[in-house]
Structure 1
Amino acid sequence: MFICLLIIKAIAIPVYFVAVTRHGARSPIDFMQWDHAENWPNGEGQLTAEGFRQEYLIGQYLHDRYIAKNQLLSLKYDESEITFYSSNAPRTIQSASAIAYGLYPTNRNMVSKPKYLPPLNINTTSLKDSIYSIDISEFIQIHTSYQVIDPILRPDKTCQEYISHIERMKNSQTMKKIFYKYPEVVEGIKKYFNVDDRKAFDLFLKVHDSVISNEFMGFKVPDEFDAKWLEKAEVAHVEMKYFKLYEPDYVARFVGSKFLNELSKLFSDAVDGKKKSKGVVYSAHDTTIMNILSSLRYKVDKLPEFGSLLLFELDKTQDRYSVNVIYNGENIPISELQVNPDFSEFLSYINMRALKDPALGCALIGKLTKISVKTEGDNDIFYLLVGDLIILLGVIGGIYYLISKIHK
């Protein structure tokens, strides 16, 4: 049986892929006292040269996998084969461009007929030797849209009801208790800033973000935030993020719904032979990757690092279509599905997890935001959320029942 599986895997051919990347290394989102201007000349939250190189290497990886090895994509960029999308942030747009350069390193025309650049009122005859020759095929378009793309990649920025929900969870007593479970983290912040527990809680995410960026670049940070502190802070941050962004499970389903619905359509069209397209690349954020994996009920134990890659690959073996989910180079299982499941099984699972109408899902989250999250005790929050979740599930069940009756 094992040998048969190896043979099937060996002759599987990729027919479509969807890549989701976290942007490369960047400067801290909010500068702290130790963030000197000479270390971060481009300002807060900006892609660094090292981050650009990370994304270029992702492009090279995709080139090796889908051009050099499997010839899924043409050697030269063909806009009908692949589309590059990005959230509406400079660091992700620049990261997408870096991926495109790495994926198509030979796309640039080294020899082409000169095309004189403007301004047109100069004497082109006398200056033509100094005018740069350029060909339009050197450019690969990066698609961005706050109305269309960002809701797929950043529901935490585009659904007001979800934004309100996050704020309530962030300010809840449970959130604070999670943070205070890690005394080494709390004490490090209190000692450096000379603040109380409450202020340490308010500063934590900014401090952790800055330390991560500085640690990646090898810049010095205060002794209070050493490797031991960073290790504990990572654990605390992950636990806090899961509570804030993905509780209860209905919310976890919502955050990835638009992406999963789009993934379902892209893969289904590829199986049905409806499109020439071969792949899609999304340049996004660590939260985007966690949103998608949380919707699929796969939990990570650390935040997606700079340059992380989540890859969904549709493979074909004779008459069998299957799906690989690859996270940072390793095949991962999705919930109760086996690794490399049949496409039909994978499709059934993501269709079960994804909300069919994410806009309605956004509105329903508003029921959670109307709950007055009390700070006197965790039981208040727990029972309120559970009660509201029961109402939400009842509404959803009614909707699915009506849909099934209509189809019958």
Structure 2
Amino acid sequence: MLFALLLVQIFIPKFLCNSEISFSDNNDGLVSVAVIFRHGDRTPVSPYPNDPYRNASYWPVGFGQLTNRGKMQHFQLGQWLRERYRNFLPTQYSEKDIYVRSTDVDRTLMSAEANLAGLFPPQGNQIWNENLTWQPIPIHTTSEQDDNILAMKMPCDKYDFLLSKLLKSKTFLNINKKNHDLYAYLSLYSGTAIKNLETLEYLYNTLTIESIYNLTLPNWTYSVFPNKMKPWAELSFAVSCYTKDLARLKAGPLFNDILKHFANSTHHKSRKFFMYSGHDTTIANILNTLDAFEYHSPPYAATILFELRALNGSYFVNILYKNTTVPQKIILKECPFYCPLEKFVKLLEPIRLSPDQWKIECEMKFLGIIPFSTLQNTVFISCTVLLFLLLGSIFISIICTKIRSDSKQDYLRLPNEDI
């Protein structure tokens, strides 16, 4: 019964997505826009050991790199954004209008560059080379290990603990148990250990890319790919933000960033446009945190749009998801499509985390009070002090024993006169 319910969940949408958005009125009252997208088409990140196409010569670029197809996908997405926001975003680039952030990965940085080429082709005095309809636009990034906003990979002890606890729960142990034979089959023929949803998705992703490039897959794949692997690969994208606590620590800083921009925009103290270049996991984490994730593998160039509008003296937030040609409305469970900004902020208040709050909450605490880092330091210092005291006591004891021994050797008994 558990697995029947789970499979039903996989295929039933959690958000309403049957309304198309026209271009005729999409600039009405716009104040600020936050765009978050996945990079474009890429080669496999890491071929499996028995992969017949693990030789780089089969691929147009290196492993994990953006392909020409991926560049075109984002160039066209940039053109689509230009058309959608033609009456909102000036055609001439200005650093006062847009801020672009990317994870520190080649394919996301290059996707942002290709996107901006479509969004801001140089015009007028911005044309600096008659033979090149492109202009440089700054893209900001930081090391993945230092990025808790977009890459979401900055170390967090509490998150790791909660995720480990989730994966050891009855639900996920049963999932792994149910897929034991599938894991064993995939491990045998792929040559790599497939032991959970994450490793299954990695393999599924590689096979998907090879099929996109019309490469003939090995015979062993026909019985499992895509049908048997697909639902579990799609479910894997829900794991990172499966609970509210996980979602808070994983996506809280990004939502805080967006809400901060929107708050500043209501006082005309912020840019119009914010662009975030990320990954399929970025898209899944955002939708899942909003409780609006229909289990799927977010496709290349999948895009989430957060639009802040001012209508009749009030502010509203629209959310749209573009994973095909037409963006679809995302309607939150407790808010209409035109969600009042105050209500939107209230709904996300339990999720959002400032970078400083995030660091504090990421610390594991002993008995829920003392951070383990503090406890470890305290224990280390205490043990060091005790060790020195013990060594000091031993040293003093040895010295005292030595003194007593020497004093006995130096003592001379006076002769008895009678003797």
Pairwise TM-score range, normalised by the shorter structure: 0.7 to 0.9
CA-CA distance at 1:303 after TM superposition: 1.9
Distance of 1:227 and 1:10 partners within structure 2 = 46
1 CA distance for matches of 2:127 and 2:234?
A: 50
Greater per-residue helix proportion: 1
- Aligned residue number for residue 274 of structure 2: 280
| Corresponding pairs, count | 336
Contact 1:355 1:361 in 2 (8 A): no
Aligned partner of 2:257 in structure 1 is 262
Q: For residues 105 and 362 of structure 1, do their structure 2 counterparts lie closer, same or farther at Cα, with a shift above 3 Å needed?
A: same
Deviations 1:117-169 (Å, cap 9, x if unpaired)? xxxxxxxxxxxxxxx9989x821111111289821012234435434654565
Q: Deviations over 1:274-316 (max 9, x none)?
A: 23x1111000111112222222222221021111101101122
Match of 2:175 in 1: 178
- Alpha carbons of structure 1 residues 85 and 215: separation in structure 2 relative to 1, 3 Å: same
Q: Partner amino acid for 2:52?
A: W
- Give the Cα separation in 2 of the matches to 1:349 and 1:361: 20
Q: 1:42 to 1:138 in 2, by over 3 A?
A: same
Matched position secondary structure for 2:225: helix
Question: Do residues 52 (structure 1) and 68 (structure 2) align?
Answer: no
Displacement of 1:81 in angstroms is 0.2
Equivalent AA in structure 1 for residue 71 of structure 2: F
- CA RMSD of the aligned region, Å? 3.4
Structure 2 counterpart of 1:214: 210
Select between 206-215 and 149-158 the one with higher mean Cα deviation: 149-158
Q: Is the 8 A contact 2:234 2:296 kept in 1?
A: yes
Larger radius of gyration: 2
Residue 253 of structure 1 and its aligned partner are, at CA, apart by 1.9
User: Are residues 21 and 362 of structure 1, via their aligned partners in 2, closer, same or farther at CA, if it must alter by over 3 Å?
Assistant: same
Cα drift, residue 214 of structure 1: 1.7
Taking the aligned partners of 1:299 and 1:108, their CA distance within structure 2 comes to 43
Which structure 2 residues correspond to residues 143-222 of structure 1 after superposition, within 5 A?
143-146=140-143, 150-163=147-160, 165-166=162-163, 169=166, 174-182=171-179, 185-186=182-183, 189-190=186-187, 192-193=189-190, 199-201=193-195, 204-222=200-218
Give the TM-score taking structure 2 as reference length. Answer: 0.70
TM-superposed deviation, 1:13: 2.5
Matched residue type, 2:204 = H
Query: Which residue matches 2:85?
Result: 66
- 5+ residue gaps, structure 1, are 1-5, 115-131, 371-387, 393-408
Match of 1:350 among 329, 344, 348: 348
SS in 1 for 2:215: coil
Partner of 1:296: 290
Instruction: Write the distance in 2 (CA, Å) between the matches of 1:352 and 1:58.
Output: 33
Q: Distance in 2 between matches of 1:148 and 1:272?
A: 33
Output the amino acid matched with 1:280: F
Q: How far is 1:327 from its partner?
A: 0.8
| Aligned-pair identity (%) | 25
Distance 2:146 2:154 in 1: 12
Task: Report the TM-score, using the length of structure 1 for normalisation.
Answer: 0.72
Find the counterpart in structure 2 of residue 81 from structure 1.
Answer: 97
Cα deviation, residue 104, structure 1: 1.2
CA, structure 1 residues 216+158, in 2 after alignment: closer, same or farther (shift >3 Å)?
A: farther
Structure 1 residue aligned with 2:392 = none
What is the rounded CA distance, in whole Å, between the counterparts of 2:160 and 2:211 in structure 1?
30
Number of the residue aligned with 1:361 = 361
Distance 2:223 2:124 in 1: 43
